[in-house]
Amino acid sequence: MRLAAPLEKLVDELAKLPGIGPKTAQRLALHIMRISPQEATELANTIIEAKNKVIHCSICGYLTDSDPCVVCSDPDRDDSLLCLVEESQDVIAIDRTGFRGRYFVLNNNFQLINGLDLQKIDFPKIFDILEKRQVREIIVATNPTIDGEVIARYIAEVTRPQGIKVSKLAYGLPVGGDIEYIDEITLRRSLDGRNEI
């Protein structure tokens, strides 16, 4: 016996979401059966609305409902620093640190296993920003993974001829971490990158 067909279909749809397995999808679907029709409609409409209203900023690629986005249209940012990130949420994380330069969101959903799609990086757009903003340093803030490292090196290679400094985020101990439990690669990196005190 299976669930009623429309419910089964909802489970299947929810199971397409990342990190949502069949069991979780079923739990979510049955939760949706319990909430009021108004709440369910609100959830469905919010999906449609977000999908319709949210676009990528035509300058930096950040997810936004106004173009140019809130970062690109902010006059009080440091034009000389351009931070390259993989996804829009990385912009929020980095901005939370107090960084107030500009961003460029790669939005490529890179996957090493699929050959990384490095060719899809929109370098003409990046070069355009470098020129218009008179950028003096590109900070490549890709994820600290093998994929992220490959992307960072490739970007550095392509942009270096422009004569602009290219840096990447430091590897090292996560603040609040415990040396005993930190993997040896991270620890090796933090030794290599040690700073005089």
Query: Which tokens in the block code for residue 6?
Result: 């429309």
Rule CB under 8 A: say whether 34 interacts with a second copy. Answer: yes
The count of other CB atoms within 10 Å of the CB of residue 102 is 20
Which of 50, 122, 128, 193 is the binder for a second copy (CB under 8 A)? Answer: 50
Which of 15, 27, 78, 149 is the binder for a second copy (CB under 8 A)? Answer: 27
CB 131 within 8 A of CB 169: no
Beta strands in 63-191 (DSSP E): 63-64, 78-85, 101-105, 137-141, 165-168
Q: What residues pair up with 36 in beta bridges, in sequence order?
A: none
Rule CB under 8 A: say whether 111 interacts with a second copy. Answer: no
Closest Cα partner for 123 from 88, 149, 84? 84
Whichever of 101 and 172 has its CB closer to a second copy, that residue is 101
Rule CB under 8 A: say whether 3 interacts with a second copy. Answer: yes
Which of 21, 22, 58, 70 is the binder for a second copy (CB under 8 A)? Answer: 70
Interface with a second copy by CB under 8 A: which residues?
Answer: 1-7, 9-10, 13-14, 16-20, 24, 26-34, 37, 39-54, 63-66, 69-71, 87-89, 91-92, 95-96, 109
